[in-house]
Structure formats: structure tokens, C-alpha cells
């Protein structure tokens, strides 16, 4: 089982509860993870052209939606959290963005956005938070124009699976102390829901839905998408204090799919 419709409403409730905390934390510029890991590679893969119409799925407080407008796109931004959409509207100022409260698990609500309306769609760090991704992938095959692009990023399931453990070791190498960071993985192939803390101090844990990479890709292939590119970014050498070193272990994966 890789879809958990019965958890969707609780998942939405938890995000509504966390919305204010996440918006305050992310602010107008978002966090280091988004600025360094997600945004640069996503922008490269999207290759936004002025005048394009782009769908921002699970837009949160609208940080990336606003960036797309700055790049010249017409943006429709959706999220199932009404509280997140409220926060996004407050932050948008003069940015003209069509915000809508839409559940990405609801096929009918999605296709009501317009057949072949969008040049591209993007979902930043969201699909692993969605209880059932099949309606979304099916809807995107209608929403996107021919050769339309869908970019999505997720926590890297190969390295960020449930119960993953970060390990820090110090080894005496010929009289010199050498530090080494690694991870221990206990679950990968078996899909499962679990509760997680994305930001320390958030009011309540939110649901995440672990799936192996093959699942994401096979759902996309079934809807006649082809995989064009993959990015596996890691943090640069300069890190925030106490930042776990991800130099060789990508915390996220970004995929570019094309509708054919």
C-alpha cells in the first residue's frame, strides 16, 4: 500500500495547525534548505519563460510562487491548508498570484483549473506530505499543455526514510582526530506513513508518507510522463552552526517530468 486516503483529513488539520508557525519561520525568503538545496536547481529545471502559466502545487506561504512571478510567469498557487493560503495572500503584496484552497488528492477540483492551461507545474517538497498522489498525477496529464513540464522535489527516500539515524563519529587517524558523518537506513522498500517534525518547535508533528523512488516514477509513467532530468543537491561546504554535513549525502531529490 502506498496511498493512505484515510489520513488525508488529519494531515490537513495538522498543517492548518502548523501554518502560522511555518510561515513565521520561513518568512519572505524561506530557510537555508529551500534557498540552497531546492530553489536554484528547481529554477534551472523549470527554465521559466516570461508569460508562461505555472501551477504551484502545495504552495505553502507562497515564497516560490512570488519568485515565479518575479521571473515573469503567471501563477496559480494551490494548497489544501486554508491557513497557509491566508498567510500566502498576506505576504504577496503587489505580486499578482491566483491563490486557491484545493486539495491535491481531489481529482475533480484539480481538473476544474482548466484543461491544458499550464505550461509547467511545480511541487516543492510536497509529494511526500500528500496521502494519495495518484489523483494529482492523473490531473496533471490534463492540466499541462503538450510537452508540459512537471518538476517535483521530495526528501530523498533513499537517505531520508523512516527511522533513519544520523551518526557522527570521531576517529584517531595516525594521531589526528578525524570526524565522519554517516546515516543508517532501516526502511526503504516498504511504503509507510509516519509523523515527523520539519521545524523544531512546530505545534504538532505532521504526516509524511514514505514511498520508494520507483513508486513515484511508475505513477508518472502510467500517466504518460517521461523522466528528463534528476538533481540530487547537497549543502555547500559553508554550513550553519551545528549543521549536519550532507556533502556526499543529498537530503532531497528533484525530478523533471515531461508530458508526452
Secondary structure (DSSP) of 121-180: EEESS-GGG-S--HHHHHHHHHHEEEEEEEEEEEE-TTTS-TT-EEEEEEEEETTEEEEE
**pLDDT at position 233 over 70:** yes
Q: What percent of the chain has pLDDT over 90?
A: 84
Distance in angstroms (rounded) separating the CA atoms of residues 53 and 7? 32
CA dihedral 251, 49, 69, 151 (to 10 degrees): -30
Residue 237 is predicted with a pLDDT of: 60
In this prediction, residue 246 has a pLDDT band, given cuts at 50, 70 and 90, of low
Report the alpha-carbon angle 101-111-50, nearest 5: 80
Q: Which residue has the higher pLDDT, 114 or 244?
A: 114
**pLDDT at position 182 over 90:** no
- Kindly provide the residue ranges of all beta strands, DSSP E only, lying in the chain, ordered along the sequence: 53-57, 74-79, 97-101, 118-123, 144-155, 165-173, 176-184, 192-196, 206-210, 225-231, 252-259
State the average pLDDT over residues 46-61.
97
Residue 166 is predicted with a pLDDT of: 87
State the average pLDDT over residues 77-98.
95
Residue 57 is predicted with a pLDDT of: 98
CATH tag, 5-156+189-259: 3.40.50.150
Q: What is the pTM of this model?
A: 0.93
DSSP letter at 38 equals I
**pLDDT at position 245 over 70:** no
State the average pLDDT over residues 56-72.
97
**pLDDT at position 234 over 60:** yes
Distance in angstroms (rounded) separating the CA atoms of residues 243 and 236? 11
**pLDDT at position 222 over 80:** yes
State the average pLDDT over residues 69-73.
97
**pLDDT at position 239 over 60:** no
Residue 69 is predicted with a pLDDT of: 97
CA dihedral 221, 223, 225, 230 (to 10 degrees): -60
- When mean pLDDT is compared across 68-72, 99-103, 166-170, the lowest value belongs to 166-170
Do residues 125 and 252 lie in contact, with contact meaning Cβ atoms separated by under 8 Å?
A: yes
Residue 134 is predicted with a pLDDT of: 98
In this prediction, residue 86 has a pLDDT band, given cuts at 50, 70 and 90, of very high
Query: What is the per-residue pLDDT across 111-163, written as a single tens digit (0 to 9) for each?
Result: 999 999 999 999 999 999 999 999 999 999 999 999 999 999 999 999 999 98
Do residues 147 and 259 lie in contact, with contact meaning Cβ atoms separated by under 8 Å?
A: yes
**pLDDT at position 106 over 90:** yes
Which of 2, 108, 126 is CA-nearest to residue 65? 126
Amino acid at each position: 500500500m502506498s496511498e493512505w486516503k484515510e489520513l488525508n483529513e488529519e494531515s490537513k488539520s495538522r498543517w492548518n495547525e502548523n501554518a502560522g508557525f511555518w510561515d513565521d519561520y520561513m518568512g519572505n525568503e524561506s530557510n537555508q534548505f529551500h534557498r540552497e538545496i531546492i530553489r536554484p536547481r528547481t529554477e534551472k529545471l523549470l527554465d521559466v519563460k516570461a508569460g508562461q502559466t505555472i501551477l504551484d502545487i502545495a504552495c505553502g506561504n507562497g515564497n516560490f510562487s512570488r519568485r515565479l512571478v518575479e521571473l515573469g510567469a503567471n501563477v496559480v498557487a494551490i494548497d489544501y491548508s486554508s491557513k497557509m493560503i491566508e498567510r500566502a495572500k498576506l505576504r504577496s503584496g503587489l505580486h499578482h498570484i491566483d491563490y486557491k484552497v484545493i486539495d491535491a488528492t481531489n481529482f475533480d477540483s484539480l481538473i476544474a483549473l482548466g484543461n491544458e492551461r499550464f505550461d509547467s507545474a511545480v511541487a516543492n517538497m510536497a509529494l511526500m506530505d500528500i496521502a494519495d498522489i495518484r489523483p494529482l498525477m492523473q490531473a496533471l496529464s490534463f492540466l499541462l499543455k503538450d510537452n508540459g513540464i512537471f518538476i517535483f522535489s521530495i526528501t530523498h527516500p533513499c537517505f531520508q526514510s523512516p527511522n533513519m539515524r544520523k551518526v557522527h563519529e570521531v576517529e584517531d587517524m595516525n594521531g589526528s582526530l578525524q570526524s565522519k558523518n554517516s546515516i543508517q537506513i532501516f526502511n526503504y522498500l516498504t511504503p509507510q506513513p509516519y509523523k515527523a517534525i520539519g521545524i523544531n518547535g512546530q505545534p504538532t508533528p505532521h504526516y509524511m508518507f514514505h514511498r520508494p523512488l520507483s513508486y513515484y516514477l511508475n505513477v508518472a509513467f502510467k500517466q504518460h510522463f517521461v523522466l528528463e532530468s534528476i538533481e540530487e543537491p547537497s549543502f555547500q561546504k559553508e554550513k550553519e552552526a551545528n549543521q549536519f554535513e550532507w556533502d556526499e549525502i543529498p537530503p532531497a531529490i528533484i525530478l523533471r517530468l515531461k508530458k508526452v
